[in-house]
Structure 1
Amino acid sequence: MSKQRNPPLDPDESAAFREAVGEVIPIAHDRVSSRPAPPPAIARQRQLDEARVMQDALSDDFHPIELETGEELIFARSGLQHSVLRKLRRGQFCVGAELDLHGMTAPIARQHVAHFLNDARHAGIRCVRIIHGKGRGSSNKGPVLKVKLNTWLRQRHDVLAYCSARPQDGGTGAAYVLLKR
């Protein structure tokens, strides 16, 4: 025995329904417009926690023996292809973002570098330029931020390589930084 899905309506009930609903205007088309899907949720607390960890990961007390003191900055993680470093040195990667550290003290610059690299990584940016200056205005008679940046970048596991920029992009007063994908 099958149930009847739409039992016939009593004419009085049908009339009462039509009176209650009133005049109905049919839809002109049979397509339903949908709103675009909302963007994926951003875990803000997770981002804040990661930013704090990245900032705390940059220590001023890191002094590896191989830290060079010359004019030009250059560093590549072991296993990175020489051709990738060559492309970086030639400025052949598209610079997706830039940070200028001029006029900042080392502690402030450290915070800015940590946030900048974290934001660039989350945005999917592969190559950035950080302008650290040449230290000519420093009371320490040397490029303080350049030395600090060299130290900080080596500590970041998301930094694959970095080197001094081409002369037209800042030369030894700026660095290209290649980030993990």
Structure 2
Amino acid sequence: MLHEAISDEFDPEVLLDTDESLSYCRPGVSQEIVKKLRRGAWIVQAQLDLHGMRREEAREALSEFIRESSKRGLRCLRVIHGKGLGSIGKEPVLKGKVRAWLVQKEEVIAFSQARAHDGGAGAVLVLLQPGSVGPGSSSSSSGKV
């Protein structure tokens, strides 16, 4: 039998610093922002749980959540997309979609996979730009993802 080499000392947080697919920072925004988000420098002010939603439902819910959170002046959000354990083939359907949708939202300046106690691989922490983006602003966001 093959003995696998695994260690109790391994720190998964190290991967977050090197795997760019786990985080995003809008061009022109300092990478320090993403590092602070990963370290928990911002308090999560609201969360959205997408468990059990179909793709279209999740897209609409996420778009509305981002829009409303921005209008309320919130900065740090948690979006729970799940790990895909209940999906066909045990593959996370929403995980990649949520990230793809977030980069298209003008209000989003950064996001990072959540730390283990914030949901780990089943959630993402999202940082919105300061100030609200609402009707009459210079934003060209139509609210669609």
* Structure 1 residues 11-66: Cα deviation after superposition (integer angstroms, max 9, x where no partner): xxxxxxxxxxxxxxxxxxxxxxxxxxxxxxxxxxxxxxxxxxxxxxxxxxxxxxxx
Alignment pair present for 1:92 and 2:92: no
SS in 2 for 1:104: coil
Partner of 2:16: none
Amino acid at match of 1:115: E
Q: Who is 2:91 aligned against?
A: 142
**Which residue in the other structure is 1:159 paired with?**
108
User: 1-side partners of 2:89 and 2:79: how far apart?
Assistant: 21
In the superposition, the TM-score normalised over structure 2's length comes to 0.73
The sequence identity of aligned pairs, in percent, is 46
- Per-residue CA deviation, residues 75-123 of structure 1 (Å, 9 max, x unaligned), is 1111211221111011110111000011111110111101100010000
- State the distance in 1 between where 2:93 and 2:40 align: 24
Structure 1 position 141, deviation (Å): 3.3
Structure 1's consecutive aligned runs of 4 or more residues displaced over 2 angstroms after TM superposition are: none
Q: How many residues align?
A: 112
In the alignment, the residues of structure 1 paired with residue 44 and residue 90 of structure 2 have an alpha-carbon distance, to the nearest angstrom, of 30
Report the AA paired with residue 154 of structure 1: V
Structure 2 matches for 1:1-181, cutoff 5 A? 73-181=22-130
Gaps of 5+ in 1: 1-69
Of the two, which has the highest radius of gyration? Answer: 1
> Aligned-residue CA RMSD in angstroms?
1.6
Alignment partner of 1:135: what SS?
A: coil
Q: Tell me the distance in 2 between the aligned counterparts of 1:129 and 1:115.
A: 14
